[in-house]
Structure 1
Amino acid sequence: MTDDVNQQLIETFDRRAERRSERRDFFKTAFGAAAVAGIAGGAIGLAGRAEAQTAPSDADVLNFALNLEYLEAQFYSFAANGTGLAANMLTGLGTQGAVTGGRKVNFSDPIVAAYAKEIAGDELAHVTFLRTQLGASAIAQPAIDIDVTPTSAFSNAARAAGLIGAGAAFDVYADDNSFLLGAFIFEDVGVTAYKGGATLLTNKTYLEAAAGILAVEAYHAALVRTVLYGKGIATPSLRTSADAISNARDSLDGTTDLDQGISPVTANGGTASNIVPLDNNGLAFSRTVAQVHNIAYLTNARAMAGGFFPAGTNNPNPDLRFSGAN
């Protein structure tokens, strides 16, 4: 191995170590302070719960996916169309909850508006598909918070990222850029969640379907990241806001480095695009069920509710409703 290659490898590992340290520092400061103020209470990263008594069934896995799809579908449906999902799409096992908040975005960019409408249709299709596959085993939609009050999940997430101050509200429906930042909170989580749960499905038909949904979520995530980066060229604060959300999200899912911003600093002090967050092998990251809940509940403590799911997620398997363990 040449000295140049050795030096490149050393620099790569150094950068990864620096990112981990930054995430830990961020958690101790920005998120830690926000949690004291009251924040703490992805498809399907269902790997590895030490407390689990039985392996999750395929229905458990699909139902955990359905929780996140309800959240995404409601957010995009309101943002694009001004209305939520039909009542007949919300019934099932467990306690059915209402959606708090949500309204149509006042889009000024027709391209962003078109993207929002397309993604809304995709997420509705995911809910429909999963409910059809599960049949009588499908869970009901849990209570979902997509409001924009100062104490809402979006505002708490934005506050943890340092985008707003104490007592302020973050209105993700106010304009194109705010909508894109709100969408960014969700999209990468869905990709890593489906990736994490892929090995837990035993039915090959379900596995193929999950791979198909993962691909769609990855398209959505890359699209949101691309538009944020492009708009961030003219408005650098948009890029730094997205990167701050990534840091906050990463501080929630533990000491691992599973998240990356859209404009990392290069060796010469500049920035580069980072449309696809990947590991050193060019692979997408995975999140466990707890890590997905950590972000959804806005806490890395052991909890069964919080954040975007104020009454928790629905699943007949209680081991698939907790945050905290990584």
Structure 2
Amino acid sequence: MENLNEQDVVLSESGILDAKLQRRSFLQYAGAGAAVVALTAAGCRKDRVNNSMTGVTLDFKDDFGVLNYAYALEQLEAAFYVQVASAPPSGFSAAEKAYFQDIQYHEVAHREFFKNALGTAAIGSLSVDFSSINFTDRTSVLAAAMAFEDLGVGAYNGAGVRLKSTTYLLAAGKIVSVEARHAAYIRDLISNGTFATAPQVSSSTGLDMALAPDVVLAAAGKYIKTKINVINL
């Protein structure tokens, strides 16, 4: 089990955020977007995060519940990719190591985007359990990455309808497009030509799948030790 507190992350995130992400201009987008969203979120109070239950609570009564839902998933993805990038499987090629490092930067930026945007309304850090993943084996890592990315894309698509703020919806749209790029790349690594196949993308409509929060959280629960309570779904 790992805790996602910043001091526990293997790779120095200050270096990621100050150097690598800035060089790619990705953090500039994330930081600017977070500033805009934070202006809207500034009026939210701490009591939007229900601490009366053990673990963390996602309250879907308003947009902040949806943002915390996305924040929880981004914590999970960031933790996974930080671990992979810090010690890639021996079977990874040089190109794969580089691409997974880039994905790591993106996921850390996504996580920090929601953390900064939510401010005092943000849920706490989640504890994860990656014991089912063999981080020394290329096949195991790619399978887990595909599961996380497909789940993330489906989660954003399914949550979009719950957002009332166009500002939040725009931010989510920008992030899910990046997640879909990750998903396509990883799926193609596993099996060339499967980057947009069913059921992830419908062959009849050309649309990506959309998953309800309860479905997503049930699947993600395999890797999350912290109890997540859901209300007003």
Give TM-score, length-normalised by structure 1: 0.50
Residue 227 of structure 1 and its aligned partner are, at CA, apart by 1.0
RCO higher in 1 or 2 (8 Å CA, sep ≥ 6)?
2
Could you say which residue in structure 2 is the equivalent of 1:274? 194
The 5 A counterparts of 1:160-239 are 171=134, 173-230=135-192
Could you say which residue in structure 2 is the equivalent of 1:318? 231
Give the secondary-structure state (helix, strand or coil) at the position aligned to 2:208: coil
Matching of residue 110 in structure 1 with residue 130 in structure 2: no
For the pair shown, which has the larger CA radius of gyration, 1 or 2?
A: 1
Matching of residue 287 in structure 1 with residue 219 in structure 2: no
Alignment partners' CA distance in 2, 1:180 and 1:201: 31
Which amino acid in 1 is paired with 2:225?
P
Determine if contact 2:157/2:211 at 8 Å carries over to the other structure: yes
Distance 1:122 1:55, change over 3 A: closer
The 5 A counterparts of 1:61-80 are 61-80=66-85
Residue 107 of structure 1 and its aligned partner are, at CA, apart by 4.8
Alignment partners' CA distance in 2, 1:55 and 1:132: 19
Alignment partners' CA distance in 2, 1:79 and 1:57: 34
Distance 1:198 1:146, change over 3 A: same
Determine if contact 1:69/1:127 at 8 Å carries over to the other structure: yes
Alignment partners' CA distance in 1, 2:232 and 2:225: 18
Alignment partners' CA distance in 1, 2:206 and 2:102: 28
Alignment partners' CA distance in 1, 2:152 and 2:100: 16
Could you say which residue in structure 1 is the equivalent of 2:114? 130
Alignment partners' CA distance in 2, 1:187 and 1:213: 12
Determine if contact 1:190/1:217 at 8 Å carries over to the other structure: yes
Structure 2 runs not aligned, ≥5 long: 1-58
Which amino acid in 1 is paired with 2:158?
G
Structure 1 runs not aligned, ≥5 long: 1-53, 83-103, 148-153, 155-169, 231-272, 298-306, 321-326
Could you say which residue in structure 1 is the equivalent of 2:126? 142
Which amino acid in 2 is paired with 1:275?
F
Which amino acid in 1 is paired with 2:93?
D
Which amino acid in 1 is paired with 2:231?
P
After superposition, what is the alpha-carbon deviation per residue over 1:57-77, rounded to whole angstroms, capped at 9, x for unaligned? 111000001111001000100
Alignment partners' CA distance in 1, 2:106 and 2:91: 19
Alignment partners' CA distance in 1, 2:158 and 2:114: 18
Deviates most, 212-221 or 55-64: 55-64
Residue 182 of structure 1 and its aligned partner are, at CA, apart by 1.7
Which amino acid in 2 is paired with 1:56?
K
Which amino acid in 2 is paired with 1:288?
A
Residue 190 of structure 1 and its aligned partner are, at CA, apart by 0.4
Could you say which residue in structure 1 is the equivalent of 2:61? 56
Which amino acid in 1 is paired with 2:129?
D
Give percent identity, aligned residues only. 33
Determine if contact 2:129/2:224 at 8 Å carries over to the other structure: yes
Determine if contact 2:63/2:165 at 8 Å carries over to the other structure: yes
Determine if contact 2:60/2:66 at 8 Å carries over to the other structure: no
Determine if contact 1:201/1:207 at 8 Å carries over to the other structure: yes
Equivalent pairs counted in the alignment come to: 171
Residue 196 of structure 1 and its aligned partner are, at CA, apart by 0.5
Determine if contact 1:145/1:310 at 8 Å carries over to the other structure: yes
Alignment RMSD (CA, Å): 1.8
Name whichever structure is richer in helix by fraction.
2
Which amino acid in 2 is paired with 1:192?
G
Determine if contact 1:61/1:197 at 8 Å carries over to the other structure: yes
Give the secondary-structure state (helix, strand or coil) at the position aligned to 1:146: coil
